[in-house]
Amino acid sequence: MLASRAVSLSFFHTSIALRTGRNRILIRPARLTFRPNLSSRHSISGDSKVRHSRKLISRRTMSNSANQSSVVGSIFPEQGQDVELLNFVNDGYGGVIVEMKVPMDPTAFASSLRASISSWRKKGIRGVWIKMPINLANLIQPAVEQGFWYHHAEQNYLMLAYWIPDTKHTLPLNASHRIGVGAFVINDNREVLVVQERVGKLRGIGMWKFVTGVLDPGEYIHDGAIREVKEETGVETEFLEVLAFRQSHMTFFDKSDIFFICMLRPLSFDIKIQESEIEAARWMPIEEFASQPFVEKHQLLKYMVDISMAKIGRGYTGLTPVRISSAFTDRLSHIYVNIGDLNQNNQDGSGSNSCCEDKSKM
């Protein structure tokens, strides 16, 4: 009961600070020390913390959605005064993650941050992450003044990072690549689906091109290719193979780029263009597409045509997505493999039993 009351008292003071707009003042009776009751619902076992940390790191956004493992109401002495520490979870790699949610006075936040770093240093913590939502942007400057740097930003938050030891940090860098797709869609009449751009570098020059686009966060290559074709032309498709990919550097905001050339089979043929981005779309004989002067000059498009023609002639095999499981997470992923050769190898007895469905046939 004492632990439960102490937690309630801490939240009570927080609510007063928010209503009055003043710095939060923590008042404790003499000799009263908060000690979490391990049997209360606010505590969590060591094994549970390990399991939670593993789940936390597997999340793309490093989101702290399980507050049960956060430290609540911890007190740390700083310059003769007791300062409340920031809530955190372990990141599974010797560091901690702080997800700010409640508004704080910047001065009070700075004190809590300094005290938290002192506490973490004593415990051997190395890296510190602070996920700062956009509505708490006034707390960014105190963190930067403490030595935090920008790691990455999304639409609604900024991730700050800090390295406690006096050594070179080993924190992972921000995502360095974006993923693009180009969709080679061909029907039984050897006609390819092509578009003219309303926006972009190729607008207004009469150039016909394959549908291209950038994957959304958390989107698979094959799903992204199907989506882009549907959005730009209204044509339903079935994904067949990744035919090739190109890697380039220093592109969009100096990031690297990986561009996958994909082959798809049309399931519908009526075209309805995305008027905000596409000027025109049509089914074009592949020979006519290949004869465009711009295609002959641009090596990427030239290779796309050559590879596509080789695929039509059955002399080229690409990579097909196969769903696989993992020993480290309950989420499924995809591996892109040459299914034809893999299954043939298995049937010959030199490999394991066939595990893949051959979708490479047109």
Residues with active-site annotation:
231
Q: Cα dihedral angle (309, 310, 314, 320), rounded to 10 degrees?
A: -100
- H or E element that contains 8: helix 2-20
What the block records as the tokens of 350 is 């030199």
Of 238, 357, 358, 246, nearest to 307 by C-alpha is 246
**CA pair distance 83, 76, nearest whole angstrom:** 5
Per-residue b/e over 164-184, b at no fewer than 16 CB within 10 Å? beeeeeebeeeeeeebbbbbb
The answer to whether 143 and 160 have CB atoms below 8 angstroms apart is yes
- H or E element that contains 153: strand 149-153
The answer to whether 275 and 196 have CB atoms below 8 angstroms apart is no
**CA pair distance 110, 131, nearest whole angstrom:** 15
- What's phi and psi for 344, nearest 5 deg? -65, -40
Q: Cα dihedral angle (330, 334, 337, 339), rounded to 10 degrees?
A: 80
Of 120, 116, 159, nearest to 136 by C-alpha is 159
**CA pair distance 286, 101, nearest whole angstrom:** 55
Q: Report strand pairing: 320-324 vs 75-78.
A: unpaired
